[in-house]
Amino acid sequence: MNNRDIPPIFTILQENKKRWQDSTLESLEKDPFIILTGCILSLRTKDPLTLVVAKRLLGIARTPEQILQIPEDTLSEIIYPVGFYRRKARTLRNIAQILWEQHQGKVPDTLDELLELPGVGRKTANLVITVAFGKPGISVDTHVHRIVNRWGYVNTPTPDKTEMALREKLPLEYWIPVNSLLVLFGQNVCLPRYPRCPICPLKPFCEQIGVNSGKPAS
């Protein structure tokens, strides 16, 4: 696959996305703190559960100040059963404290400043940058990493290396939408173990690298 395939691929993804169940964080409000909170909750947690818990938490606390008003044990109970819920409760309070003390309660809008926050890696920082602030960035999670390697568009061993490869290769106009479209595609069609290749609208473009040879999901 090469860059001449990218425009038709993204057109097809845009045309099909309304048919797919949306459990992405981008279905939340585009508020920077809400997106950041959702990203912290999502670590080692399946997308649909993350969305349910994020909405529950955001019905109680939507700002750093409101998070700080919740005791850590209570916050742990609110976000249960996401993975590592006790650690994430502590992380959310630590982030809220830093935002309150150092950033006037606001989420910073630069990659470097976001990466200084506890628990924030490149995937999260880039998602906040692109979704909440509309700035160029490429957020690569396991879905994006898996799919672009499966396509044969890049050949990279880790999500961080995939991000760097995409920054070199992917046209700038696709940087922001690549995460939302491929996560949605990965949740519904290009599944991790048994991708639904027979019904995939992108099959003509895909090299199917590393696709499991077992029975695909229906």
Alpha-carbon gap, residue 94 to 111, rounded angstroms: 18
Q: How confident is the model at residue 104 (pLDDT cuts 50, 70, 90)?
A: very high
- Long-range contacts from 49-52, C-beta under 8 angstroms, 24+ separation: 49/81, 49/82, 50/23, 50/25, 50/82, 51/23, 51/24, 51/25, 51/27
Alpha-carbon gap, residue 157 to 11, rounded angstroms: 27
Tokens, residue 132: 């909440």
Do 99 and 44 fall within a single domain? Answer: yes
Out of 132, 148, 172, a domain closes at: 132
Do 29 and 110 fall within a single domain? Answer: yes
Do 127 and 171 fall within a single domain? Answer: no
- Whether 196 maps to a domain, the answer reads yes
Tell me the average pLDDT across 191-218: 84
Do 182 and 124 fall within a single domain? Answer: no
Do 103 and 184 fall within a single domain? Answer: no
What are the distances in angstroms from CA 107 to CA 40, 61, 86, 103, 192?
14, 15, 22, 7, 33
- For the chain, give the percent of residues with pLDDT over 90: 86
- Whether 215 maps to a domain, the answer reads no
CATH code of the domain covering residue 198: 1.10.1670.10
Out of 110, 132, 154, a domain closes at: 132
The type of residue at 22 is D
Q: How many domains does the chain have?
A: 2
Helices 72-79 and 47-58 cross at an angle (nearest 10°) of 130
Q: Decide if pLDDT at 206 tops 90.
A: yes
Contact 82, 49 (CB under 8 A): yes
Q: Decide if pLDDT at 217 tops 80.
A: no
Q: Could you report the per-residue pLDDT of 120-145, keeping only the tens digit for each?
A: 999 999 999 999 999 999 999 999 99
CATH code of the domain covering residue 52: 1.10.340.30
What is the value of pTM for the model shown?
0.88
Do 124 and 143 fall within a single domain? Answer: no
Task: Give the residue among 92, 108, 95 at the shortest CA–CA distance from 32.
Answer: 108
Do 81 and 37 fall within a single domain? Answer: yes
Element at 101 (helix H, strand E): helix 85-102
Out of 85, 105, 132, a domain closes at: 132
| Residue 179: domain span | 3-20+138-205
- Whether 218 maps to a domain, the answer reads no
